Amino acid sequence: MKRSLIPAALLVLLATAACGAQQAGGTPEIPVGDASSAPPSLTMPPKPTLDPPTEPVDPPKPVITTGPSGVVVPPGLEVLPPERVDAKALPADQYPERRVWVSQDDRSVQFFAMAPDPCTIMEATVESADAARVTLAIAPMAQPQGGPEGQVCATVVTPMPVSVALPDALGDRQVVLTLG
């Protein structure tokens, strides 16, 4: 009796191994169902196409920075004459740099702002504009920026560039900087 069990067990083992090899060879499993059900599709769905943008995307605007030898002004920006910048409302000890740069298209201005601490990002908004002047209010960003609470920040507060888009071309108007 022992002799007949061993060949039978080997036969079952070989049959099982052969079925496993066929499955591993890439033959897909098809669920058993009624004859009218179709096998699942093995084709990939088509890739979605992206519609081209409806409006042209503006290239990034050049931004003023600071370097070892002072302010670095990229091409495309020019400094406004000092008489066209009113920065009297800014504390002199916090805002020693009072220059304002205007873009070639005359639709944005840039200047440096001082944050109250190293983790705060500053922004400016157009507070008012008339035929003679454009008033910009400098304030910390309304939405927190950056990482989790308790994040480590630099220990030195440095001036950061702020860029403001203007609703109309600046023209000959004066720029007034205030704290908001």
Residue 156 has a pLDDT of 77
* 40 inside domain: no
74: in domain: yes
CA dist., res. 155 & res. 144, Å (int):
19
Would residue 89 count as lying in a domain?
Answer: yes
Q: What is the pLDDT of residue 165?
A: 95
Q: Could you tell me if residue 15 is inside a domain?
A: no
Q: Which tokens sit at 164?
A: 């403001």
pLDDT of residue 177: 97
Q: According to the model, what pLDDT value does residue 73 have? A: 94
Domain boundaries, position 158: 65-145+154-179
Residue with tokens 């205007």, as numbered in its chain:
102
In a domain, 105, yes or no: yes
Cα dihedral 167, 98, 105, 171 in deg (nearest 10)? 70
Q: Is the dihedral of CA 18, 22, 24, 30 positive or negative?
A: negative
pLDDT of residue 42: 64
**What's the pLDDT score for residue 50?**
65
* Residue 77 forms part of a structural domain: yes
Per the CB < 8 A criterion, the answer to whether 134 and 175 are in contact is: yes
- Note whether residue 58 is domain-resident: no
Residue 114 φ then ψ, to 5° = -110, 125
Q: How far is CA 23 from CA 13, 46, 128, in A?
A: 16, 27, 74
Number of domains present in the structure of the chain: 1
Tell me whether residue 52 is in a domain: no
pLDDT of residue 132: 97
Q: What is the pLDDT along the chain (180 residues), one digit of tens a residue?
A: 555 556 555 555 555 555 554 555 555 555 555 555 555 556 666 666 666 556 665 666 789 998 899 999 999 999 999 999 999 999 998 899 999 999 999 999 999 999 888 778 899 999 999 999 999 999 998 765 555 566 667 677 788 999 999 999 999 999 999 998
Closest to 163 in 3D by CA, of 119, 126, 118: 126
Give Cα separations from 85 to 26, 39, 60, 91 (angstroms): 74, 75, 25, 15
